[in-house]
Chains A and B, each alone.
Chain A
Amino acid sequence: MFGSRLSAGLNLPQSGLPPAQADPPVCLTDEAALVPEHGEELRVQLLVEENARVAQGQPLMRLRRAPGIALVAPMAGRVARIDLAPGRRLKQLVLFHDPEGDRHRFDIPHSQGSSDALRALLQESGLWRAFRSRPFGRMPRPEENPSAIFVMAVDSRPGAARPDLAVIGREDDLERGLAALTRFVDAPVYFVEARALHYHGAIPTGVTRLQSSPRHPQGLAGFQIHRQCPARIGAPVWDIAVEDVADLGRVLASGYLHPTRVVALSGTALREPRLVRCQPGADLRGLTQPYVRPGPHDVLAGSFLDGRPAHWLGPRDRQVAVLDRAPSPRARHWFRAALERAAHKAPIIPTAALEQSLGGSALPAAALVRALAAGDAETFTRLGGLSLVEEDLALADYATGARPRLANQLRALLDRIAQEEDAA
């Protein structure tokens, strides 16, 4: 109850980090796919056909609304299948791995100081998708300029890999990437790290270092942004994982995209938590299969709090949770089932659990939950809700067992606000 404002949060079950492996093994799966993020709509123009051989990093499709933004191949291989929904919306593009494949080289802009050239490189190399713009938590629009960029070198979600492990040995790349970000826009760049795990590499001048408490949810970008520089309509704030910034530095130095990312595998159905290096968009079954205990299980992309069942690693996922499948609920009494369907869901009672799971004094938790339930966009905006995305409310969802989930209520309200803004 006297928790200081920076240490508020919850101690979670299952928060045992995968043992710090100094050098996680590279483990490329045979298949990988390009998929949109959950709820993201990508209308694309294809650049390749099925069965085409592609190099790692080669642009495979471009967005129809913004042809500058490319989606690139996560690995060298052959295009196995392309699934599009009506309106040329991407469902998935599946690749087969080819160990002897090529790597695509990007043209590096000559004048590295030019912001436009860097923007073009980010969009051409697919790294543009690594940014998330708030409010609304989507990929930034092609000509959007952020009012701040948060580089997240901390991840407090249970079972997440320490992001600084991913950049060990890549300090030069990271420094180059951070320097490029400071030149990219005339906006503050924040480097958020865990207080206990100080990053020892070089950080260029112009980057502000922030220390975050290791307790969840303090290590999420949403709460850091809410504290330091709230996102507003017209003043978007971007966040990006530290590994993606190192990838940017790699591209700037060599012209090649880094082929892997560090992914943490955890969960009750695994024999032990693991760290692996795999390609983006990896096949989750293939990735987890060697470590899973026998028996029915669910594979989630993301932590057990905010993950969702998935076949492929999403564009921003760095964590996979493999959970024992809950036994199917026993047949319930017909009256209870009817009551649950007919009734309004039970409201959330403001308790210490709710407050701590929303970062303690970070925001008035009960008022925010009420605004969400009522769909009150004005109060929601006033309380700073525009800085949040679904993952920030996942802990409160878990703690209070809210139905409907707060994260879904938040997404519905954000979508409505975005729609109203677009119409205006």
Chain B
Amino acid sequence: MRRGLWDREMVALLLLLAMMPMTLAWLWFGGVEALGRLILTLLVSGLWHMIFMLARAQPPSFAGALTGVAVAMLAPQDLSLLQLLLGISFGSVMGELVFGGWGRNVLNPATVTLAFLGFSFSAAPWPDLVPPVAWAALPALAMGVIFGVMSARLILGALAVLGGALIADASLSTIFPAAGIVLALLVSDPVASASTRLGGWLNGALFGALVVLFATGWQGAAPMHVAVSAALLASLAAPLLDETAIALWTARRRKRHG
């Protein structure tokens, strides 16, 4: 009879709220140019949501704004307008909207956009966000966990692996800011990450491990490129990790209950 609050749009709004520390810090340091970029990505993302609403009766979602924010902050610099349009259109449509909207997608549309841009226009330089933005990722993650819209296990798993690697090899500290920002903006998306408890730990650990692997083995890659690529692969592996966790869980139950 009565309804609680935790429907899809509330989760999207809380995620947006959790992103605010990072977004505001980024806008503060990026100035008018950053604002223009943000408005452009929000407009394009919103436009595609409108098109799918009119063509497929798919209700638009605030999650489109999440995509816009993440793409505006992380996309390679010096892209022409057309390139940026192409990238975000591809990511929104093929990463999210054709599956039926946010909640039914497999990958985070922003991850798809950024990977697409990175592979297609590999000459464009990746952004190097200022340290305050990277620090702002910490309150963002904390807010996400407190609201219950991000998985604490995933974040702790990623931080544990990254921290361990940092202790082993101090030269990895250059990768940390980018990894933290990508963790908050892309990896901890509740839809595109693992949903089981064990899966969450594994998903976070996998992201951390991939970042470390790429940072040590991938010569000449920008930190942001490394983090985005790790996010894409970790996100792709999430359903597999969930399946593994569920298989282990059912095996344990079968042993216990026959």
Contacts and interface: CB of A to CB of B under 8 A. Distances in A.
Interface in A1-59: 1
Contact of B1 (A298, A344, A346, A366): A298
Interface string A325-341: 00000000000000110
A323 B242 CA distance: 40
Interface in A303-344: 304-305, 307, 323, 339-340, 342-344
A367 interface: yes
Contact of A351 (B6, B61, B250, B257): B6
Contact of B103 (A349, A353, A399, A401): A349
Contact of B11 (A323, A349, A402): A349
Interface stretch (B52-60, B72-80, B114-122, B205-213): B52-60
Nearest to A400: B6
Nearest to A229: B257
Contact of B59 (A229, A343, A400): A343
A349 B3 contact: no
A226 to B, nearest CB: 9
Contacts of B148: 351-353
B46 interface: no
B4 A353 contact: yes
Interface string A371-400: 000000000001110000000000000111
A400 B245 contact: no
A118 B104 CA distance: 52
A304 B3 CA distance: 10
Contacts of A1: 145, 152-153
Contacts of B191: 349-350
Contacts of B170: none
Contacts of A300: 1
Interface residues of A, number: 36
A109 interface: no
A348 interface: yes
A230 interface: yes
B195 to A, nearest CB: 4
A366 B61 CA distance: 20
Nearest to B61: A346
B103 A346 contact: yes
A347 interface: yes
Contacts of A114: none
A354 interface: yes
- Specify which of B2, B102, B197 lies most central, judged by the most chain A CB atoms within 10 Å of its CB: B2
A234 B154 CA distance: 39
A117 to B, nearest CB: 31
B28 interface: no
A346 B101 contact: yes
Contacts of A342: 57
A305 B3 CA distance: 9
B132 interface: no
Question: Looking at A304, A305, A323, A339, which has the most chain B CB atoms within 10 Å of its CB?
Answer: A339
Contacts of A348: 7-8, 103
B100 interface: yes
Contacts of A401: 3-7
Given A346-B7, A353-B6, A398-B3, A364 B245 contact: yes
B1 A304 contact: yes
A384 B7 contact: no
Contact of A354 (B6, B57, B101): B6
A400 B9 CA distance: 11
B204 interface: no
B249 interface: yes
Given A304-B2, A364-B245, A398-B3, A349 B250 contact: no
B2 A398 contact: yes
B59 A351 contact: no
Nearest 3 interchain pairs by C-beta? A352-B148, A347-B103, A366-B195
Interface of A: 1, 229-230, 298, 300, 304-305, 307, 323, 339-340, 342-344, 346-354, 361, 364-367, 382-384, 398-402
29 contacts: A298-B1, A300-B1, A307-B1, A323-B2, A339-B53, A343-B58, A346-B7, A346-B59, A347-B100, A347-B104, A348-B7, A348-B8, A349-B102, A349-B149, A349-B190, A350-B195, A364-B242, A364-B245, A364-B246, A365-B195, A367-B195, A383-B246, A399-B4, A399-B5, A400-B4, A400-B6, A401-B3, A401-B4, A402-B7
